[in-house]
Chains A and B, each alone.
Chain A
Amino acid sequence: MTASSVPRPASPLAPATPDAAAADAVAAYARLSRRRLLVVAVLALLAAGAFVLDLASGPSGLTVADAVRTLLAPESVPRTTLVILRDLRLPQALMAVLVGASLALAGAEMQTVLNNPLASPLTLGTSSAAVFGAALAIVLGVGIPGVPQLWIIPANAFLFAFGSTVLIQTLSRLRGSGPETVVLFGIALFFTFNALVGLAQFVASEQALQQLVFWTLGSVGRASLEKDAILAVVLAAVLPFSFAAAWQMTALRLGLERAESFGVHVGRLRLAALVRISLLTGAAVAFVGVIGFIGLVAPHMARLLVGEDHRLFLPASALTGALILSLAAAASKLVVPGVVVPVGIVTALVGVPIFLALVLSGRGRA
């Protein structure tokens, strides 16, 4: 046998034919998708677990078992336990879940449509703007004409949240929307609104001041089932639109021009996303005040876990946000015995270690 007649060995990695290679790719993609769906399911379970833990935490010496029994079979629980868990703690625990999910979803959408990993409702001033809107209502009684008294604060919070996102969008477009420009404008807004909130605090009456401080610290302490319902409605109204835009958002990650060439109206996509972000942030901030960190970090955690296919990335972000805020709410009742520390303070303290652990273990894996 001469050397030239020896068949060239095929590369051990390459399948024999293009058809086989394509079939392999489809199968591998299906496996990856299933694995990521599983991750989302586990996140959902963890979030549910954190919710129960949050419900069980507090000064009354109740257990997780009590919390589960209250949720599943309320008639089997003693009257006092029922009152504590269902009437006192349930509204707050639900609020933590809803606010965590809302802020994280808003942050995830913001990072995509502004193409900036540092974008979040807090870092780009949206939360501060919402607080200023609330401050106008609390301190000066200024609101949108025609809005009922009960709704003035949330309506103001939403209006200012929306205004600030539109402002950032417009300014960064005027100046050529490099990612760093967006963040710079966001920082400018953050400081401006914080200064204005400071001014409002300075002129506020003692009672209004107390209410404002509650806002700026961030606390689920004033939650009620009615407020939970409102936030749940906002979240439920926003979610279908977020998911409907999931593929377009995934495409947008490949660059503005490329997404446009796929047929995406990037301008409309951004505007719709900003409306959703403002609704979520405005509603969340309206009821609990400023809770930072979650909107920034939950999307990053979700990205490390499931990548950026937005069909999975958006729900994973929302679930991660709910998980962190529930854990933080539980911790806020345990840090100082007998005292509930505002959850906004605890959030970062609980979230940062989880985040760092994920970043360090995910390095090089991307």
Chain B
Amino acid sequence: MSAAGLSIQRLSAGYGRRPVIGDLTLAPFAPGQLTALVGPNAAGKSTLLRALAGLIPARGRLTLDETDLMALPHPIRARLVGFMPQALPQGIALTVMETVIAALMAVPLAAPCSAAEARVRAAALLAQMGIAGLALTPIDRLSGGQRQLVSLAQALVREPRVLLLDEPTSALDLRHQAVVMDLLRGLAAEGRIIVVVLHDLALAARHADHVVVLDRGTLATQGAPAEAITAAMLAAVYGVAGRVETCARGTLQVMVDAPLR
């Protein structure tokens, strides 16, 4: 396979001796594409993201535009692949601005930039995200939604080629969900590869170019939203009776009626 983009072949990953993902091969994630990673709880979505980010041991082949990611030193890989974990820990005496600057300054090899440049880049990103007013707020005093935006900013500021996000919208209200998804669409439009774990299938159907459905560590189905998200998939993977319909404005709508017995 010589396509540009992020290619995953025969990937296995897990924690200690417990494998979560076994022998997973996916169609390559193309630059400019927003891929939604969906599936029920314990499907291996977060594990796959961690394996892609190089945070847990994995076997298989993982290439980005022909570059073997697994062979790269960790800081160089971190420069190419950004990751946003689900949670930001509590009880930390740092301001929003400090955390975003730390993302740039932590390892020079992973984000070459001067201290002055880091300050400017961090502030510009916060302003772009509409949260520059929070720059000096301690992160412990943020609301759940604000925390998630700041968490996202820490990943975005490093401007990685590949951005992996673990449920970036889970704590957000409707408006902020739309803001974040728009932001990610904009990043994809710059030619980046965006992979987002989403619980909300409607959000995936509405915003993703490509949907990967995982089930118990293996691939259930993948493709354009309309191909991947179907009533049959809802029944087989999620165990629910549901309908997937196109609304009058042409967007895919997902409705869940009842759990299947």
Q: What is the interface of chain A, defined by CB distance below 8 A to chain B?
A: 13-15, 18-19, 21-26, 28-30, 32, 115, 117, 247-248, 250-251, 253-255, 257-265, 303-304, 307-309, 366
Q: How many A-B residue pairs have CB under 8 A?
A: 141
- B-chain residues with CB within 8 Å of residue A26 when the two chains form the complex: 119-120, 123
Pairs A–B under 8 Å by Cβ, sample size 26? A13-B133, A18-B124, A21-B127, A22-B127, A22-B132, A25-B122, A25-B132, A26-B119, A26-B123, A28-B97, A29-B136, A32-B95, A248-B106, A250-B102, A253-B94, A254-B102, A255-B87, A255-B89, A261-B55, A262-B103, A262-B106, A263-B74, A263-B78, A263-B106, A307-B138, A309-B98
**Taking CB as reference atom, which chain A residue is nearest B160?**
A261
* Pairwise interchain contact B74-A265, C-beta atoms closer than 8 A: yes
User: Beyond A19-B127, A29-B119, A259-B106, is A250–B98 a contact (Cβ under 8 Å)?
Assistant: yes
Which residues from chain A contact B74 at a C-beta distance below 8 Å?
260, 263, 265
Once bound together, how far apart are the Cα atoms of A15 and B132, in whole Å? 9
- Quick check: B98 and A14 within 8 Å, CB to CB? no
The reply to whether B124 and A366 contact each other, CB–CB distance below 8 Å, is: no
- Digitize B210-252: 1 where CB-to-A-CB distance is under 8 Å, 0 elsewhere: 0000000000000000000000000000000000000000000
Kindly state whether residue B258 has any CB partner on chain A within 8 Å. no
Given A261-B53, A309-B98, A366-B93, A29 and B85 touching (CB < 8 A)?
Answer: no
Q: Which of B120-172 contact A (CB under 8 A)?
A: 120, 122-124, 126-128, 132-133, 135-136, 138, 140-141, 154-155, 158
B94 pairs with A308, CB closer than 8 A = yes
Selecting from B62-70, B107-115, B176-184, B199-207, the interface stretch reads B107-115
* Max chain A C-beta neighbours (<10 A), residue from B77, B127, B154, B158: B127
Query: Please, which residues of chain A bring their CB within 8 A of the CB of B192?
Result: none
With a CB–CB cut-off of 8 A, which chain A residues contact B154? 254, 258
Specify which chain B residues have a CB less than 8 angstroms from the CB of A262 in the assembled complex.
78, 102-103, 106-107, 110-111, 158
Contacts of A304 in B (CB 8 A): 93
Measured between beta carbons, the chain A residues less than 8 angstroms from B94 are: 250, 253-254, 307-309
Q: B45 at interface (Cβ–Cβ under 8 A)?
A: no
Residues of A within 8 A of B107 (CB): 247-248, 262-264
A18 touches B97 (CB 8 A): no
In the complex formed, the residue of A with least CB distance to B50 is A257
Q: How far is the CA of A259 from the CA of B103 in the complex (A)?
A: 8
Q: Give the docked Cα–Cα distance between A19 and B128 (Å).
A: 8
Q: How far is the CA of A263 from the CA of B119 in the complex (A)?
A: 19
For chain B, the count of residues having a C-beta within 8 Å of the partner chain is 51
B interface secondary structure, majority: helix
- In the complex, the answer to whether B85 meets A257 with C-beta atoms within 8 Å is yes
The CA-CA distance from A309 to B97 in the complex, in Å, is 11
Q: Which B residues are in CB contact (< 8 Å) with A18?
A: 124, 127-128, 132
Q: Which residues of A contact B87 (CB under 8 A)?
A: 255
Contact call B141/A366, Cβ cutoff below 8 A? yes
A30 to B101 CA separation, bound complex (whole angstroms): 13
B44-81: which residues lie under 8 A (CB-CB) from chain A? 50, 53-55, 74-75, 77-79, 81
Question: Known contacts A28-B136, A263-B74; is A117 also within 8 Å of B91 by CB?
Answer: yes
CA distance A21 to B133 in the complex (A): 7
Question: B78, B81, B93, B106: which contacts A247 (Cβ < 8 A)?
Answer: B106
> Nearest A residue to B54 by beta-carbon distance?
A260
Question: In the complex where A18-B124, A262-B106 touch, is A25 in contact with B92 (Cβ < 8 A)?
Answer: no
B14 within 8 A of partner (CB): no
State how many angstroms separate the Cβ of B159 from the closest Cβ of chain A.
13
Among residues of A, the one whose C-beta sits closest to the C-beta of B124 is A22
User: Once bound together, how far apart are the Cα atoms of A29 and B107, in whole Å?
Assistant: 21
Query: Is the CB of B99 closer than 8 A to any CB of chain A?
Result: yes
Confirm or deny: B20 has a beta carbon within 8 angstroms of a beta carbon on chain A: no
Residues in chain B near residue A115, CB distance under 8 A = 89
Say yes or no: A263-B111 contact (C-beta < 8 A), given A29-B97, A255-B89, A257-B55: yes
Tell yes or no: B83 within 8 A of A by CB: yes
Complex-state Cα separation, A261 to B78, whole angstroms:
6
Q: Is B88 an interface residue (CB 8 A)?
A: yes
The answer on a CB contact under 8 Å between A22 and B78 is no
Residues of chain A contacted by B53 (CB below 8 angstroms) = 260-261
A366 B138 Cβ-Cβ under 8 A: yes
